[in-house]
Structure 1
Amino acid sequence: RDYHKLMRKRLATLARWIEAEVGPIGYRAFVDSAPVMERALARKAGLGWFGKNAMLLNPKAGSLFFLGELYTDLPLPMDDPFEGEHCGSCSACRTACPTGAIVEDRVVDARACISYLTIELFGAIPERYRKAMGNRVFGCDDCQLVCPYTRFTRATQEADFAPRHDLDRASLLSLFAWGEEEFLEKTAGSPIRRIGYERWLRNLAVGLGNAPWSEAVEAALRARLPYPSDLVREHVRWALARQREKRRALIASS
């Protein structure tokens, strides 16, 4: 199931529990489903502080957790906001960002962020960021993974959050070979589905362009050249040019 729907379901369960205790209330649950200023609300609720990567950091969980909101007309006591910041002189997240998108402490240039480029951007990925993308196809967590507070994170035991269809082990070549029907089938209930098949191929083409040269990669890219999408073809041509450069470099060095 889509984790957004799962979390909203959990919040609705919480609301019904509250109703059982206090009577009928008005409420609405949100998990990435409306323009809610969730990080700012979470800080005011005492859940953490803004790290230098602009993520909400919790001292016991880092930033690897979901934020969900339950709006209600039930009068509730106010929580104390989280006081202070605990990043100190650490700048691991800024150093780790592949594209330098963290331009200042707590300021991220979304136009350079790989998560934005691979998920939110509908058009062509600017060439100046393609090499830095490496093999990232859907998002990027580098700034979170290097954060010292991440070591306190525990892996979830929720089966709904476990990888499906071997997506955690699949090769870029095998994913690039999927047809649209296979893409829709194997991303059902996953946030990946929302980028659509066209941008899926766009992102994979960039990843294959960044891969070490191989005949199989070059052949797979050539096979996609007739694909009926200007967006896909443009990224495939770029990737082919990268692969051919690497092939020539290998020949020259042998």
Structure 2
Amino acid sequence: MVNAVDTDDLKQRLKARAHELGFVAVGFAPAKDDPLRGRRLREWLAAGLHGEMAWMENRADVRQGPQSMWPEAQSVIALGMSYAPGVEPMALAAHPEKARISVYAQGRDYHDTVKKALKALARWIVEQVPDTSLKVFVDTAPVMEKPLGEAAGIGWQGKHTNLVSREHGSWLFLGAIYTTLPFVPDDPHEERCGSCNACQAACPTDAFPGPYRLDARRCISYLTIEHKGPIPEEFREALGNRIYGCDDCLAVCPWNKFADTAQRHHDFVPREELVAPDLAQLLTLDDAAFRQKFSGSPIKRIGRNRFVRNCLIAAGNSGEGGLIEPVRRLAVDSDPVIAEAARWALGRLKASP
């Protein structure tokens, strides 16, 4: 095991290597469990605010802190990779014939890009200190990346519950490395939301019962991505033309004025066909066409049926008479959720002036 002086030097060289690999934010936190964080998680789950995300509940005991998962862990390296948008994320709200796809899903699947970089950084660490052990995580394991990012000083968990950075705004993909190396921790980041409540006010479905608290069951990102059945009618109109995720609470954050697309990882430059796709074209996708179109995209994971369901809700909200025929064809789809959404959309479109 290296001593404290060695780890201080290693921290600086590690940060330089992380930047070479595309990370714009790097911080270090102790791996000990945080009882307060664990209690808040249990309260959130007990209130049912996680909706259908059973994976949040199934491993809650492990999720409460690094050492609950891996008792040998001594330090957490928290990392962020920028996906700062080059255009106004809410601009398509005025174009109902277009489909709005969340900024994070317009480029390559961040799971692949971030994990590849994390593994490269992990290999580099082992080359420097061969007797160390470590584990890498990016959003697919019971790891609370946002509180760990705050503890490591790379940002703070804002009132919209996402991490906010003074340098990169709300546009960071997060990853973490647990290690047996005893790094000297960085100072936790202080909360800097102040009296601002722009993110709370911007939410179309009132998904925030209070600051720093999200009811996933009302969140458009949850409804269009995680929710598997029919979208509750009370939220359909509020979805507007959002077909995959929602950026509203992130987009209005004042700290985004410091975000710079020059810091964005090249894998997250938006694919041209996903910036402002036509709803009419998306409604025609069968399973094979869907898989081909969204190969390498995080959108692929929800499958064609859930995706088309979302497009039908957007079509019903559009008022575009030209969408009646593609919607009508889906009213007899073999998936009952799609067929119901199509009938709903038809009723709305026929009633439009």
| Cα distance between partner residues in 1 of 2:269 and 2:157 | 28
The structural deviation recorded for 1:168 is 1.1
Aligned position for 2:227: 121
The structural deviation recorded for 1:165 is 6.0
User: TM-score if structure 1 supplies the norm length?
Assistant: 0.92
Identity, in percent, stands at 45
| Cα distance between partner residues in 2 of 1:89 and 1:75 | 37
| Gap change, CA 1:55 and 1:158, over 3 Å in 2 | closer
| Gap change, CA 1:42 and 1:80, over 3 Å in 2 | same
RMSD over aligned Cα, in angstroms?
Answer: 1.4
Is structure 2 residue 193 aligned with structure 1 residue 87? yes
8 Å CA contact 1:165–1:186 kept in 2: the answer is no
Choose the corresponding residue for 1:175, options 271, 276, 282.
282
Gaps of 5+ in 1: none
User: TM-score if structure 2 supplies the norm length?
Assistant: 0.67
Aligned position for 1:69: 176
The structural deviation recorded for 1:157 is 4.7
The structural deviation recorded for 1:25 is 2.5
Aligned position for 1:239: 345
1:62-87 CA distance string (max 9 Å, x none): 1111110112222222222112x221
Correspondence 1:46-195 to 2 at 5 A: 46-83=153-190, 85-155=191-261, 156-164=263-271, 166-195=273-302
Is structure 2 residue 114 aligned with structure 1 residue 7? yes
Letter aligned with residue 138 of structure 1: Y
8 Å CA contact 2:155–2:164 kept in 1: the answer is yes
8 Å CA contact 1:101–1:110 kept in 2: the answer is yes
8 Å CA contact 2:110–2:173 kept in 1: the answer is no
**SS state at 2:159 partner:** coil
The structural deviation recorded for 1:196 is 0.5
| Cα distance between partner residues in 1 of 2:265 and 2:169 | 19
**SS state at 1:68 partner:** strand
Aligned position for 1:206: 313
| Cα distance between partner residues in 2 of 1:67 and 1:159 | 16
| Cα distance between partner residues in 2 of 1:39 and 1:158 | 20
The structural deviation recorded for 1:166 is 0.8
1:65-118 CA distance string (max 9 Å, x none): 1110112222222222112x2212211111111111112011111100000000
Choose the corresponding residue for 1:17, options 124, 149, 155.
124
Deviates more, 1:125-134 or 1:154-163: 154-163
The structural deviation recorded for 1:163 is 2.7
Is structure 2 residue 336 aligned with structure 1 residue 230? yes
Q: How many residues align?
A: 245
| Gap change, CA 1:35 and 1:123, over 3 Å in 2 | same
Gaps of 5+ in 2: 1-107
Q: Any runs of at least 4 consecutive aligned residues in structure 1 with deviations exceeding 6 A, and if so which?
A: none
| Cα distance between partner residues in 1 of 2:165 and 2:114 | 19
8 Å CA contact 1:137–1:200 kept in 2: the answer is yes
8 Å CA contact 1:44–1:82 kept in 2: the answer is yes
Choose the corresponding residue for 1:26, options 123, 127, 133.
133
Letter aligned with residue 5 of structure 1: D
The structural deviation recorded for 1:179 is 1.7
